[in-house]
Amino acid sequence: MAKDRNERSQHPLRENIEVAVFAVVMAMGLKVFAVEAYQIPTGSMQPTLMGTALLDPVTRQQKGGLHDRVLVDKVSYWFRDPRRWEVVVFRYPLVTHVNYVKRLVGMPNEQLMIENGDLWARPLGSDEDFMILRKPWKVQDNLWKRVYPTYNSTAEAWLGWSETGAAQRTEAGSMLLQGSAEVASQFRVKDEPEHGYPDAIAARVPTMNAVGRHALSDLRWEFALTPRDPKGPLRADFEFGPHASSLTVAADGSFLLEGPGNAAFRGAAAADASAKIEFDLAFWDHTLRFEVRGVGREPQRFQQELTLESKTAVRNGARFSTSAGGWELHPLKAWRDIHYLPPRNTPSTPIFEIEPEHYFMMGDNTQSSLDSRDWQSETLRFDPPVHGVAELRGDRMDHGSDPMFNNPRWNAARDLMTFRGEHGGLHVFTADDLAAAQLDLVESSPLVPRSYVLGRAIAVFMPLKPLAPVNRFNLVQ
C-alpha cells in the first residue's frame, strides 16, 4: 500500500489530467441527460423569454441585443409526460436538428380551437361542446402584460383618464371624489405588441407588425380606495369586453362584487373604517379572481370559474363613480393576458386535431411566433429518383423575415432550387430535375411528437447588468 501511494505521488500531472477528464465527462453527462442551458434567439416567447435586437432610442438603429439564457430540465420528462402550459424545448419536427422553445397548449387526443383570443378543447372524435382552457393562477400571474401605466409615464399622471363632477387631483397623485363625481378610462386595451416589456428596454424593442389589434376581454385591474368621511357608497364598473363586473364599496368598508355569470362576493366592514382598501380584480379564460387587502382587514380572496359564451370584445375599461363623495381613488395599474391569434392564412375559427403522443405548441408572443398554427410541410416526389432521392420532405417557409431561411428557395435566375430536408440536409435541383417531379404537395403539420420533446424551461439566469440593460433572472412559469 505504501508503494502505491508513493507511485501516485510521483505523477501529479497524471492525477490532474484524470480529474480534468472526469470533470469533463461529468459535465457532458449532465448536459446530455440532466440539465442544459439554451440561448433564446428569437422573439416568439417575448416578454416571457427574450430574444431580440435592441435599438438606439434616438437613432432607431440597432445597438446591441438581449438574448436570455434558459436552464432546461431534461430529467422530469423521463418520469412523467409534459403538461399543458409548460414551456418546453423540442426538436422542430420539420427541421429536426433545430431546437425550438414554446408553450405547450394542446394535449394528445383532443381537438383544439382558437376563438376570440382564447383556447378551447374537447376530446378527439367527440361532438361535445368545446370547453375553454384555463391557465392556473400560478401560470397566469406570470403572463400578465402591463398596459397601464405605460413605460414612458406614471400612474399618477392619469394619462388616458377623464374626470367629471367634483373630482380633484391631489399633490400625491390620487383623485379625490368630493361629491357627485366620475373617473373613467378613455383608452381601449388592445393586443398591442409592445405591452409587458421592462421599462429599461420597452422603447428599444423593434416595433412588431401587429396583426389586427383586437379589443381584449382578459384584463387585470389593481387599485386602492381610502375613505375620506364618505357620504355614500362608491361604485366601480369594469368592462371585460362583453363581460361586465361591478364593485360597490360602502362607507364602512363593506363591499359587494357582482361579476358575469351571476358571480358574487360580499365582504364585511373593516375594523378601521378610515383605512386604505386595496383591490385586485382579474378576469382571464372565463375565470374571475378578486383579492382585498387593507389595514384592520383580513386578506380575502374569491375565485370562480364561469360558464360563459365565447364573444368578441368590442370595448373594455373601468369607471369609478359616487353621488355623494368622500373617497380618495389612488392611481391604478392594469395588465392584459395573451390574446391567442389564429393562423395567418385561416380567416375562420381553426380546429386542430391532436393525435396520440403528440402536442400543439404556441409562442407567448402570438403576433410574432412561428409555431404549430402555421407550420407547413412540403414533399417532393421523384419518379424515377433524382440524385438518388425518391421522396424528400421539409418545411414550407415562404413568408419568413429572413429570405435566406425560406424553404424552398430559388436563385436569381430561377434555374436552381435549394430544398432543405427535415433532417437539415440541403439538396439542389435544376429546373430539369423538377420538371417530372410532383410539386406543391403542401400540408399543415402542426404537431410535435412526444419523442421530440427534450425538456422544460425552468429558469432564466442571464443576461445580467452591466453586460445587459436589464437583469434577467427568474423562474419560468
pLDDT at 237 over 60: yes
Say whether both 360 and 286 belong to one domain. Answer: no
93-131 pLDDT, tens digit each: 999 999 999 999 999 999 999 999 999 999 999 999 999
Confidence band, pLDDT 50/70/90 cuts, at residue 14: low
Say whether both 330 and 359 belong to one domain. Answer: no
The pair phi, psi for residue 228, each rounded to 5°, is -120, 70
Q: Domain for residue 358, yes or no?
A: yes
How many Cβ atoms sit within 10 Å of the Cβ of residue 41?
A: 15
Say whether both 134 and 164 belong to one domain. Answer: no
Say whether both 158 and 294 belong to one domain. Answer: yes
Q: Domain for residue 256, yes or no?
A: yes
Q: What is the pLDDT of residue 31?
A: 47
The mean per-residue pLDDT over the stretch 432-437 comes to 86
Say whether both 154 and 58 belong to one domain. Answer: no
Q: Name the domain count of the chain.
A: 3
Say whether both 182 and 91 belong to one domain. Answer: no
Say whether both 75 and 207 belong to one domain. Answer: no
Q: Domain for residue 34, yes or no?
A: no
The mean per-residue pLDDT over the stretch 281-301 comes to 92
SS3 state of residue 27: helix
The answer to whether 359 touches 450, Cβ cutoff 8 Å, is yes
Q: What is the CATH number of the domain that holds 113?
A: 2.10.109
413-422: long-range contacts, CB 8 A cutoff, minimum separation 24: 419/380, 419/392, 419/394, 420/95, 420/394, 420/395, 421/392, 421/393, 421/394, 422/93, 422/94, 422/95, 422/96, 422/377, 422/393, 422/394, 422/395
Q: Domain for residue 15, yes or no?
A: no
How many helices, marked H, and strands, marked E, lie in the chain? 6, 34
177-218 pLDDT, tens digit each: 999 999 999 999 999 988 999 999 998 998 766 556 899 999
Q: What is the pLDDT of residue 209?
A: 62
Residue 52 burial (10 A CB sphere; 0-12, 13-18, 19+): buried
Say whether both 179 and 260 belong to one domain. Answer: yes
Confidence band, pLDDT 50/70/90 cuts, at residue 3: very low
Say whether both 127 and 167 belong to one domain. Answer: no
Q: Which domain holds residue 399?
A: 376-445
Say whether both 244 and 323 belong to one domain. Answer: yes
Say whether both 288 and 391 belong to one domain. Answer: no
Q: Domain for residue 214, yes or no?
A: yes
The mean per-residue pLDDT over the stretch 63-77 comes to 93
Confidence band, pLDDT 50/70/90 cuts, at residue 475: very high
Q: Domain for residue 67, yes or no?
A: yes
Instruction: Give the lowest-confidence range in 29-43, 261-275, 360-374.
Output: 29-43
Say whether both 184 and 213 belong to one domain. Answer: yes
Cell numbers found for residue 189: 386595451
Q: Domain for residue 5, yes or no?
A: no
Distance of alpha carbon 242 from alpha carbon 246, whole angstroms? 13
Q: Domain for residue 283, yes or no?
A: yes
The mean per-residue pLDDT over the stretch 28-56 comes to 80
Q: What is the CATH number of the domain that holds 191?
A: 2.60.120.200
